[in-house]
Amino acid sequence: MRRRWWRLIWGVAIGAGTNIAIESADVVLVENDPLDVVRLLRLARLGYQKMVQNLFWATAYNAVALLLAAGVAARWGILLPPAIGALLMSLSTIIVALNALLLRRARLL
């Protein structure tokens, strides 16, 4: 059974609430703004989408680079030296990190 983020039940507490509510909540709202719950759900959805994008990107990119480094396309004259493969793996990590930083531009409302 696949669980999606919108099917999960979250406990939300307001920062001015009791200590028991704050300790037992999954999310604590610092300000007393109920729209923060909407922002929280939007951020959760955007974060999940970004994780899927990064997982797809890193898997596809590294699979291609690994196959080229292993010499799968050597008969066609395409061979990736190990040093270049390591450089490309580092580049993949940087691209995934930059893609994750794009969450800062997201409008939450």
What would the mean pLDDT of 25-36 be, rounded to a whole number?
Answer: 83
pLDDT of 52 > 90? The answer is yes
Phi, psi dihedrals of residue 34, rounded to the nearest 5°? -65, -20
What would the mean pLDDT of 4-21 be, rounded to a whole number?
Answer: 71
pLDDT of 43 > 90? The answer is no
pLDDT of 109 > 80? The answer is no
What stretches of the chain show up as alpha helix (H) in DSSP?
A: 19-24, 35-70, 82-101
Average pLDDT along the chain: 83
What is the model's pLDDT at position 31? 83
Cα separation, 46 vs 40, whole angstroms: 10
| 8-12 CB contacts, 8 Å cutoff, 24+ apart | 12/37, 12/40
**pTM metric for this prediction:** 0.71
pLDDT of 9 > 80? The answer is no
